[in-house]
Amino acid sequence: MKLVKNFFLLALGIGQQVIQISSATPTLDSLARSVERVESIRDIKDVQRCFAQLAQHGRWADMAALFYDNGTLRWGNETATGPAAIENWLRIDSAGMDGVRPGSLDTMIVENGLVTLSVDGRRGKARWNGLRFMGDGLGGTRIQGGIYQNEYVFSGGQWKISLLKYFPLYSGPYIGGWRTVGGSVPIVPYHFYEPGEDPGVPIKPAIGEPPSTRATIEQLAQRISRMNDEDSIRNIQHSYGYYVDRRMWNDVVDLFASNAVVKVTGVGTYQGKAGVRQAMEQRMGPEGLAQGVLNDHPIFDLIVDVSPNGREAVARGVEVGMIGNANIRAASWEFNVFRTQFRKGDDGQWRMFNLELTSLINADYYKGWGSGASAQGSGVVPEFSGTEGRAAQEYDEDAENKDELDLVDLQRRLSRSAAYDGAESVSVAYGYVIDDLNCGLMGALFAQKGHKSSPFCGFYQGPNHTAEACYTTYGRNRSSGLRTSISFHWRPQPVILVSEDGRSATLRARLLQPSTSNSSAGSFNGAIYHDQMVLENGKWRLWSITIDEFYWQSKNWKEGWAGANPRDASSPNPGPSALFNKYPPEVSLVEIGDREAGFQGAAGRFIQWPEIQRMWFHYRNPVRPDWSLTANGYQEPSTGPSLKNGTFS
Ligand SMILES: *[C@@H]1O[C@H](CO)[C@@H](O)[C@H](O)[C@H]1NC(C)=O
Ligand SMILES: *[C@@H]1O[C@H](CO)[C@@H](O)[C@H](O)[C@H]1NC(C)=O
Ligand SMILES: *[C@@H]1O[C@H](CO)[C@@H](O)[C@H](O)[C@H]1NC(C)=O
Ligand SMILES: *[C@@H]1O[C@H](CO)[C@@H](O)[C@H](O)[C@H]1NC(C)=O
Ligand SMILES: *[C@@H]1O[C@H](CO)[C@@H](O)[C@H](O)[C@H]1NC(C)=O
Ligand SMILES: *[C@@H]1O[C@H](CO)[C@@H](O)[C@H](O)[C@H]1NC(C)=O
């Protein structure tokens, strides 16, 4: 039987590097080790997300308890070691901007985690982007942005922070805005390019024989299913966010169970699908975006807890409302917490069942949250999720297990969750290296036949051409020095659809761009990425990066996103970027036709915020079928959405 299986696998080519942790036919012991390693990447991310969620409610002691006994916090040039000292530092540093005092705010965002695991699976390192919006309710405010390069250790059955190292890159008060700290932005060293590291290999192959496991195949199957479930739930919650941005209430309502409940803290409770729609319309307005309307609600730091029985789950995260109407120059901020109970239907489909939205602070953009903010949910602390870790989860003997348990298939199912993290890892790596305009590292993230769109220009294929297009735009000396200004490439809120064989994935992410400068206040832009990733020679690589930009831009910090003026309808289209003539693309945006129409450098009339550009929810290259996943031996995810022609207002 075993021989037959091996033969079958080789024939399909699945024997090679399906999962990065083991290429051999699994044994119970090797599968157990692999399960632990994928769980570890996720547990590390959750510890950090939990740190952020706790900050929002001034839970300094609980935040400090996430550190190892001699763990260290290094915030710029300040240091605290051990939980007691860390708690004390957090409290003093907050200066009353703690989310506890009435009107105060401490929304800490720690996003775009790139986690790598040590060979022995007992240590981890991670890079994160940070943004922290603070206020004391008495007029005092602080906005801080930077990068974390953190370390984690597995101890006593749990992942703990051993080093939190924050590099402050920009900061300032609300009124007047932030500037580059110290006048210039350094290149913060990337742990994922240290010797032996690769962002496409978050889990390095284990060395030696796996230890003998006490877990049964049923227990491992359940742990793998919980990770597969988690992936589905992340995708639904994040898709919900994208639909909310566009006020696509029909699509939002589809995500909910028919007997769902939406509770908006301090406002009301809404029942059933009609109630879901009512809650959305009351909070955010009618279906669709009219010209000049911004309804972005990016989601950050999502933690998903799936119950052992695999029928229920809770997703908790932070939502930031960036809302406006450019027609009347109105704009506001919301700092919200959401907690969604999910249920799995008899059809096996997860649905949102009970959405609890708590708005901590609402503030007029032009006044800020220092004073003049309102707080519906003041004093309410939506229940937190635990950080015991996935391995510690109880086994539910009664949970149905309809599948025939087979080690090879379990390894395949595990490889799909490893793929979710692998795709996210190269996604955020792209953001980090392009922030630093490091064209060489950026090109090397691409698969040999991968391709990338350069904004306002077109597509380039392969690592060499994508790097050359970048060098042509930015010059060859850019990555070496300090910069006084920078536009960051945050890629949060991924929706990652993984193929059945775990070798390819499509990924949608936001492009959220906080910018900073030495001389004037930084601000934000928003756009959307539509990407594909593949496993090539055991490493995750980018197959396709398509940026649709911009959906909105702030005029500047003071006037914000609602300060944008409509383009003169009679002015000519701006045409492609200078790159187009200096280093012509292999496929221009114009050739892509309707799919890119309306973006700068593409076909049709240029559409610029505050006009509403169409938004796409999936992408197949209509011009180069030979660039597709399926033409190159990869599968398309069977769960992917069908091609959809966005929505017009
Ligand atoms: C923390 O403790 C561990 C285990 O005792 C030790 O290996 C490590 O060197 C210590 N780290 C620091 C910074 O003291
Ligand atoms: C620490 O950094 C802050 C700015 O981040 C600066 O104002 C302060 O002078 C620094 N302190 C020391 C001792 O270097
Ligand atoms: C940043 O701006 C400050 C104040 O304008 C100036 O003193 C400083 O030299 C600038 N730093 C750099 C690196 O340009
Ligand atoms: C791309 O290939 C050309 C020709 O081999 C070479 O000169 C150039 O250095 C390569 N560029 C990069 C970024 O690797
Ligand atoms: C790039 O940097 C090198 C070394 O600093 C310098 O010699 C060269 O002139 C620079 N090239 C450009 C195009 O700025
Ligand atoms: C998308 O919609 C526009 C406007 O309705 C239409 O002109 C275009 O043909 C559509 N494209 C596709 C691919 O369906």
Bridge partners of 525, per DSSP, are 513, 553
Nearest residue CA, atom 4 of ligand 4? 464
| Residue 620: predicted pLDDT | 47
Domain borders along the chain are 218-404
Phi, psi of 253 (to 5 degrees): -60, -35
Residue 400 confidence class, pLDDT cut points 50, 70, 90: low
- How far from 525 is each of 113, 296, 470, 487, 562, CA to CA, in Å? 21, 11, 21, 9, 12
**Is 577 a residue whose pLDDT tops 90?**
yes
- Provide CB contacts within 8 A for 422, sequence distance 6+: 20, 200, 202, 505, 533, 535, 540
Phi, psi of 593 (to 5 degrees): 80, -140
Report the distance separating Cα 402 and Cα 395, nearest Å: 16
| Residue 162: predicted pLDDT | 98
Instruction: Fill in the amino acid letter for 148.
Output: Y
- How far from 145 is each of 79, 168, 347, 523, CA to CA, in Å? 18, 6, 44, 12
The residue to which tokens 């949910």 are assigned = 377
**Is 22 a residue whose pLDDT tops 80?**
no
Report the distance separating Cα 305 and Cα 313, nearest Å: 5
Q: What is the distance in A from the centroid of ligand 5 to the CA of 477?
A: 6
Nearest residue CA, atom 1 of ligand 5? 477
**Is 486 a residue whose pLDDT tops 70?**
yes
**Is 93 a residue whose pLDDT tops 90?**
yes
| Residue 389: predicted pLDDT | 81
Q: Which two tokens stand for residue 400?
A: 């149905």
The pLDDT > 90 percentage for the chain reads 82
- How far from 510 is each of 312, 478, 530, 577, CA to CA, in Å? 28, 25, 9, 22
- 8 A C-beta contact, residue 185 and residue 516: yes
**Is 464 a residue whose pLDDT tops 80?**
yes
Give tens-digit pLDDT for 286-329: 999 999 999 999 999 999 999 999 999 999 999 999 999 999 99
| Residue 478: predicted pLDDT | 65
**Is 139 a residue whose pLDDT tops 80?**
yes
Instruction: Verify whether ligand 3 is closer than 6 Å to residue 183 (CB atom).
Output: yes
Ligand nearest to the CA of 71: 1
| Residue 3: predicted pLDDT | 32
Pocket of ligand 5 (CB under 6 A): 475, 477
Q: What is the distance in A from the centroid of ligand 4 to the CA of 433?
A: 19
| Residue 388: predicted pLDDT | 78
Q: Which two tokens stand for residue 91?
A: 């409290």
Burial of 403 (0-12, 13-18, 19+ CB in 10 A): exposed
| Residue 12: predicted pLDDT | 34
**Is 492 a residue whose pLDDT tops 60?**
yes
Nearest atom (ligand 4) to Cα of 443: 13
- What average pLDDT does this structure show over 478-486? 74
Nearest atom (ligand 4) to Cα of 471: 13
| Residue 397: predicted pLDDT | 85
Phi, psi of 240 (to 5 degrees): -50, -45
Q: What is the distance in A from the centroid of ligand 5 to the CA of 443?
A: 21
Nearest residue CA, atom 7 of ligand 3? 183
**60-82 burial, b for 16+ CB within 10 Å, e for fewer?**
bebbbebbbeebbbbbeeeebbb
pTM (2 d.p.): 0.91
Q: Which candidate, 280, 291, 425, 392, places its Cα nearest to that of 338?
A: 280
Q: What is the distance in A from the centroid of ligand 3 to the CA of 185?
A: 12
Q: What is the distance in A from the centroid of ligand 5 to the CA of 516?
A: 25
Give tens-digit pLDDT for 76-89: 999 999 999 999 99
Q: What is the distance in A from the centroid of ligand 1 to the CA of 62?
A: 21
Q: Which residue has the higher pLDDT, 24 or 270?
A: 270
| Residue 594: predicted pLDDT | 86
Bridge partners of 321, per DSSP, are 334
Our mutation pick for probing the ligand 5 site, out of 472, 476, 477, counting the most ligand atoms within 8 A of Cβ, is 477
Ligand nearest to the CA of 479: 5
Nearest atom (ligand 4) to Cα of 439: 13
**Is 555 a residue whose pLDDT tops 80?**
yes
Nearest atom (ligand 5) to Cα of 477: 1
| Residue 481: predicted pLDDT | 65
Residue 647 confidence class, pLDDT cut points 50, 70, 90: very low
**Is 646 a residue whose pLDDT tops 60?**
no
Q: What is the distance in A from the centroid of ligand 6 to the CA of 643?
A: 11
Burial of 205 (0-12, 13-18, 19+ CB in 10 A): middle
Our mutation pick for probing the ligand 6 site, out of 594, 614, 615, 642, counting the most ligand atoms within 8 A of Cβ, is 594
Instruction: Verify whether ligand 4 is closer than 6 Å to residue 468 (CB atom).
Output: yes
**Is 480 a residue whose pLDDT tops 60?**
no
Q: What is the distance in A from the centroid of ligand 4 to the CA of 464?
A: 6
Q: Which two tokens stand for residue 15?
A: 């024997």
Instruction: Verify whether ligand 4 is closer than 6 Å to residue 443 (CB atom).
Output: yes
Neighbours of 328 (CB within 10 A): 9
Give tens-digit pLDDT for 598-643: 999 999 999 999 999 999 876 444 446 677 777 888 877 654 444 4
Nearest residue CA, atom 7 of ligand 6? 594
**Is 118 a residue whose pLDDT tops 80?**
yes
| Residue 20: predicted pLDDT | 59
Nearest atom (ligand 4) to Cα of 468: 13
Give tens-digit pLDDT for 417-441: 999 999 999 999 999 999 999 999 9
Domain with residues 218-404, CATH architecture: Roll (3.10)
| Residue 112: predicted pLDDT | 98
Nearest atom (ligand 6) to Cα of 643: 13
Neighbours of 296 (CB within 10 A): 21
- How far from 553 is each of 114, 321, 324, CA to CA, in Å? 27, 15, 12
Q: List alpha helices for 462-523, DSSP H.
A: 462-474
Indicate the average pLDDT of the chain. Answer: 91
Our mutation pick for probing the ligand 3 site, out of 169, 518, 520, counting the most ligand atoms within 8 A of Cβ, is 518
| Residue 19: predicted pLDDT | 52
